[in-house]
Amino acid sequence: MQDSMASLSVSPAAAGGSCFAHVQQAPEDPILGITVAFNKDPSPVKVNLGVGAYRTEDGKPLLLNVVRQAELHLVSDESRNKEYLGITGIVHFNKLSAQLILGSDSPAIAENRVVTAQCLSGTGSLRVGGEFLGRHYSGQKIIYVPSPTWGNHLKIFPLAGLEARTYRYYDPRTKGLDYEGMLEDLRAAPNGSILLLHACAHNPTGVDPSQEQWEGIRRVVREEKQFLPFFDCAYQGFASGSLDNDAWAVRRFVGDGGEVFVAQSYAKNMGLYAERVGALSIIVKEPAVATRVESQLKLVIRPMYSTPPTHGASIVTLILSSKKWFEEWKEELKAMADRIRSMRHELFNALKERQTPGNWEHILNQIGMFTFTGLSKEQVEYMRREDHIYMTLDGRISMAGLNSRTVPQVADAIHRAVVKFS
């Protein structure tokens, strides 16, 4: 008995060590890690162009006035409580979110073919949608995402049970859309696959298809390959300044009667980053299918986070349901989009004045928060080391992180890096 007891292994915890001593140090998130490095930099002239959040001309985070008003209204409403929401969240929020992205006159909404669930911003909406597809999609459980794409896409979908593959999207030679390469890759993909599309303001490139190109993509998706399109819509209204223009592609795909998934986020366009407010809408062909889909969607959400939080979604609901606040929101949204566009022009003009080698027209042609500069990893690291300018290693910069004071500094740094490594 003593011999057999002696042969039993002793756990690290029993021996005074940690059960997790074998755990390796993980690398910093490639995007969030930029802010960590930026915060550690003692330089008084450092500039953070990596963060995917809006900044004012003073370089400060912005709380929209309409959001502040809605929040004050909620706080003063003594009838409110902190009871659990239903599994799919605030019913009115879901209805208004679907109308915002699909249009208030959408036949799919009128015909009860839309299932919407309040989720944890865009990331949570993508994850819930991915989990549902991993369990229930009858086609190929393969999702094709653009190359490049937001880095989290390649983490979310495999964890949700889908195989992630890429298709050509960005052409580094033209710093624009590789339209022919994209269509070639889509035609080579298995029929019935899932296709991840950025609704507008493609992250990280800022390169969007034209409406004519969107129509060509739609024909391949619907007529040739029978793909299921899954739109990631993180920037509605924030890209062009128009909610309707930025929803054009989604509405075109829904308008042809086919099935569509859409993940929405209110982080950027309402500045509700920390509130984690988003929605997943699933558009199907028949109302009876929608009812069954909703029942199974609840079974995905319930063991994941049970029910969503109420505060941020209540703010969105108030703004979208009030004509006065909705109009004010659109004005503030357009002002943010306009400031970003003005930064594009200022940076382009500054590089032109310095006669920086290369063609920088893509800064003006790209859209939304980000610009894919074309700078190499070597140039990016040089700018961080020598000029304290922080951006992702692929050369993506947040235009919202620029202001009139820092544009000359950034342009000088880009010029030096390009000249040194050209």
Q: How many CA atoms lie within 13 A of 106 on its CB side?
A: 27
Taking the alpha carbons at both ends of the chain, their separation in whole angstroms is 75
Name residue, tokens 């950025």: 198
Q: CB of 368 within 8 A of CB of 238?
A: yes
Query: Quick one: tokens of 14?
Result: 């029993």
Question: DSSP H helical segments within 220-255, as ranges?
Answer: 243-246, 248-255
Q: 150 an active-site residue? A: yes
Q: Which of 141, 175, 225, 268 is catalytic?
A: 268
Distance CA 154, CA 301 (A): 21
Q: Is 324 helix (H, G, I), strand (E, B) or coil?
A: helix
Q: Which of 150, 325, 329, 360 is catalytic?
A: 150
Name residue, tokens 């929405």: 264
Residues 6+ positions from 352 with CB-CB distance below 8 Å: 360
Q: CB of 138 within 8 A of CB of 228?
A: no
Distance CA 340, CA 56 (A): 10
CA dihedral in degrees (113, 118, 122, 128; nearest 10)? -70
Distance CA 418, CA 97 (A): 44
Q: 338 an active-site residue? A: no
Distance CA 389, CA 50 (A): 9
Distance CA 369, CA 174 (A): 20
Q: 248 an active-site residue? A: no
Other C-beta atoms within 10 Å of 42: how many?
A: 7
239 secondary structure, DSSP code: S
Name which of 108, 372, 126, 116 is nearest 231 in CA terms: 126
Question: Amino acid identity, residue 206?
Answer: G
Name which of 266, 264, 191, 179 is nearest 221 in CA terms: 191
Q: Which of 208, 232, 246, 387 is catalytic?
A: 232
Which residues are known to be catalytic? 150, 232, 268
